Amino acid sequence: MKKRQVLISGGAGFIGSHLCDYYIQKGYRVWCIDNLSTSSIENIKHILNLPEFKFIQEDLITFKTSLLKHKFDMVFHLASPASPLDYFRLPLETLKVNSVGTEKMLEIAKSSSAKFLFSSTSEVYGNPLISPQPETYWGNVNPIGSRSVYDEGKRYGEALVMTYHRRYRVDTRIIRIFNTYGERMRLNDGRVIPNFIAQILHGKPLTIYGNGKQTRSFCYIDDLIKGIVKMIEVDYHLPINLGNPDEFTILQLAEIIQKIAGIKTQIEFLPPLEDDPKQRRPDISKAKKLLHWEPVVSIEEGLKKTLNYFRSLVSQPQWNKKGK
């Protein structure tokens, strides 16, 4: 029987590489397109030489999709910088991969009659005025601030996906991913969990932007992947929140990480980031009902695994040399 074909943009990234693993294990042929701008070949090195895995190191923005002669069964568009530090550094690339890039991936799905999934974000809610955030909330987004390249990029992406669904009947799905963490994040990724762990492992103070009373809800990667693969199987086209509803202030998170690591370091308060959302917590009632899904990994359990992963990275010579 012919293997089913999956295309994943951003497949060498933190989330994308776990999705590649899932479909390889399920017996699919997996195509991964990634420009490695915020991801790493290390994340896919264990599958790189498998005959059922094909890595295309290209930038989706300039990639000639006509070179893809295959028909795909599923198309996942995950490529995008996702850490604030990355999209501050790559603002135009972020806008383009979520606009031009989304359109290219939608065209591939359309010509393949494939199922399509777009990874959107909780950032579409901006600095939310209600909590928890249900999918019906339209958000409170600054359209011109420095975060807008990501927030508005994803909002445009969602509009495009819905348009392809309505106009061309493409079999689309949209997930709004809330803060996710786990193995294969970069130690210098800039997001709060890798930052705190890197700082603890190097005996440096934990940096907190603002007063640390802002909240986030953190989902462990394995839980998220289970939600994504369930989502592609259901016949539902409106956005769905995927995240863990357990909410913590950033100060609480700092304490939990210190406790798990068994290391106490100082806390350094830095000026707040522009438009940093004050609160974020997903309402996942829709995902629970539709997908029969909810996160099962506690923050302590997920952080222990993540800490072990980062410990093994830090013990590698290149990290010691850089002293990061």
Span near ligand UDP by CB under 6 A; candidates 87-95, 97-105, 205-213, 298-306:
205-213
d(CA 142, CA 150): 11
Q: What angle do CA 315, 316, 321 make, to 5 degrees?
A: 100
Establish if 301 lies at the interface with ligand UDP (CB under 6 A).
no
Of 9, 214, 217, 265, the one binding ligand UDP by CB under 6 A:
214
Establish if 84 lies at the interface with ligand UDP (CB under 6 A).
yes
Give which of 244, 254, 142 is closest to 208, Cα–Cα.
254
Amino acid identity at 193:
I
d(CA 247, CA 237): 27
d(CA 76, CA 245): 24
Active-site annotation holds for 28: no
Establish if 63 lies at the interface with ligand UDP (CB under 6 A).
no
Token duo for residue 94: 């972020």
Establish if 120 lies at the interface with ligand UDP (CB under 6 A).
no
Q: Please tell me the count of residues contacting ligand UDP according to CB under 6 A.
A: 14
Of 246, 276, 300, 301, the one binding ligand UDP by CB under 6 A:
276
Establish if 209 lies at the interface with ligand UDP (CB under 6 A).
yes
Report the Cα–Cα distance between both ends of the chain, in Å, rounded: 49
Span near ligand UDP by CB under 6 A; candidates 46-54, 138-146, 187-195, 231-239:
187-195
x/- mask, ligand UDP, residues 240-259, rule CB under 6 A, reads ----------x---------
Give which of 78, 43, 31, 10 is closest to 232, Cα–Cα.
78
Query: Which residue's C-beta sits nearest to ligand UDP?
Result: 191
State in angstroms the smallest separation of the CB of 83 from ligand UDP: 6
Categorise residue 110: left if φ over 0, alpha if ψ from -120 to 50, beta otherwise.
alpha
Catalytic residue among 22, 23, 125, 150: 150
Q: Are 96 and 79 in contact (CB under 8 A)?
A: no
Shorter beta-carbon distance to ligand UDP: residue 161 or 253? 253
Contact residues: ligand UDP, CB under 6 A: 83-84, 179, 191-192, 195, 207-209, 214, 216, 250, 273, 276
